[in-house]
Amino acid sequence: MSKFGELKILPLRELWPNEASDFTSWLASNIEALGKALGLELELIEREASVGDFSLDLLAKDLGSSRTAIIENQLTQTDHDHLGKLLTYAAGFSASIVIWVSESIRDEHRQALEWLNQRTDTETQFFGVITEVLQIDDSRPAYNFKPVVFPNEWQKSKKPKTSSTISSKGEKYRSYFQSLIDELRENYRFTGAKAGQPQSWYSFSTGIKGVLYGANFAMGGKARTEIYIDQGDYDQNKNLFDALQKQQIEIENEYGSSFEWGRLDDKRSCRIALYCNGTIEASDSELEQLRKWHIENLLKLKNIFMPFIQRIMKQQHKNANSDEAKSRAVD
C-alpha cells in the first residue's frame, strides 16, 4: 500500500489575515458553496448591511423560498459578542435563515443555536457552520463548510398546530417541488437545494445574480418554466431582455420551441417562458408527467439559454468599461 500523506487543518488567518476585508469578501464570493452545504440556494444581496449602528457581514436570500438570510462570520472561535450581534441582525432584518460561520463553535454557543431551533417556528432556521481549510502534505489547500448546528425539521413539525398551519394545497405544492428538486439535485446536480416549500413556484440559481430559472404553477390552469430576470434595475433588466430577444429566432430554432417573451414594461422584471396545461390538483400520474416536463425544460434552459446570456452580459460589461474609460479620458 502506498504511503499516505499527512492531512492538516490550517488556521484560517494563514489565508485570510483580516476578517472584514479578506474573509468576509471571500465568503461573499463563495456564498453559493456555503448554501450548497446547507441545502439552500443563497444569493448575495449586500455586504456590510446596516442595522442601526451595526453592520451585518452578509445579507442574502434563499432563491427557492425568497426568505431573507443573514450571515455573520468569524475567523476565530465563536464568542458572546458575535452571538449578540447575530440575534440583533436577525431581528433587524426579520430573517428566516440565520447562519453563523466561524473557525470553531464553543459548546455553549452550539447549545444556544440548538435551543433557538427548538423554540422557534418552522419558518425560522439557525445554522452553525465551521469553515475548515485542509491540506495534504504540501498540496494546494481546500476549504470545507461543515454544518454542526442545523434545524431539526422533525422536531419543528411536532409543534402544536396554529392558524398558520400549511393547507392541504400548500402541502401538495411542497410535495411536488420536493420531488422536483430532489431529482434535479441527485441526478443532474442542477441545484443544491434540499427543501421544498408550500408555494406555487420554485426558483433556481443560474450562477448570474438576478437571473433565475423558475418552475411555476401560473394562473388559468397553466404550468410555466422560465428564465426570470430581475437584477434590481429596470433599465438593466430591459437591456438584457432586448438583447436576448434580438436573437429570438436563433434561440428558438436551437431550443425547438417558441417562447412567450414577457418584457413586462409595467414591472421591473422580465420573463421568457414556456407554458403547458397543468395544476397542482391534477392526478398523481398527470403531476408526474408535469414534473418530467419541468425538469426537461429547466435542463434545456441551462444548456441553451445560458451561453447566449453569458455572451450578452460579457459584451455589456465590456461596453460599460469602454464607456467609463472614454469618460475618464475626457475628464
281 and 302 fall within a common domain: yes
Instruction: Outline where DSSP puts E strands in 158-262.
Output: 201-208, 211-218, 222-229, 260-262
Would you state the pLDDT for residue 157?
47
Residue 326 lies in a domain: no
Cα dihedral 213→219→220→225 (10° resolution): 0
133 and 66 fall within a common domain: yes
Would you state the pLDDT for residue 304?
95
Summarize pLDDT for 167-206 with one digit per residue, the tens: 889 899 999 999 999 999 999 999 988 888 889 999 999 9
Decide if 192 contacts 36 (C-beta within 8 A): yes
Q: What residues pair up with 46 in beta bridges, in sequence order?
A: 59
CATH of the domain at 146: 3.40.1350.10
Q: What would the grid cell of residue 86 be?
A: 447575530
246 and 274 fall within a common domain: yes
Which of 106, 128, 157 finishes a domain?
157
137 and 237 fall within a common domain: no
Would you state the pLDDT for residue 206?
92
Would you state the pLDDT for residue 315?
86
Residue 153 CA to residue 120 CA, distance in Å, equals 11
* Cα–Cα nearest to 27, from 13, 39, 44, 50: 44
* Cα–Cα nearest to 75, from 10, 131, 145: 131
CATH of the domain at 237: 3.30.1460
Residue 238 CA to residue 151 CA, distance in Å, equals 40
Would you state the pLDDT for residue 324?
65
In this structure, is the dihedral angle defined by the CA atoms of residues 197, 201, 206 and 207, taken in order, positive or negative?
negative
Residue 150 lies in a domain: yes
What's the alpha-carbon Rg for the chain, to the nearest Å? 22
Residue 228 CA to residue 66 CA, distance in Å, equals 14
Would you state the pLDDT for residue 163?
41
Q: What is the extent of the structural domain holding 203?
A: 168-319
Would you state the pLDDT for residue 317?
79
Residues lower than pLDDT 50 in the chain: 154-163
Would you state the pLDDT for residue 141?
93
116 and 179 fall within a common domain: no
185 and 265 fall within a common domain: yes
Would you state the pLDDT for residue 52?
83
Residue 275 CA to residue 270 CA, distance in Å, equals 16
Helical axes 248-255 vs 234-245, angle rounded to 10°: 70
DSSP 219: T
Pairing of strands 54-62, 67-73: antiparallel
Side chain identity at 192, as an amino acid letter?
G
Residue 162 lies in a domain: no
223 and 275 fall within a common domain: yes
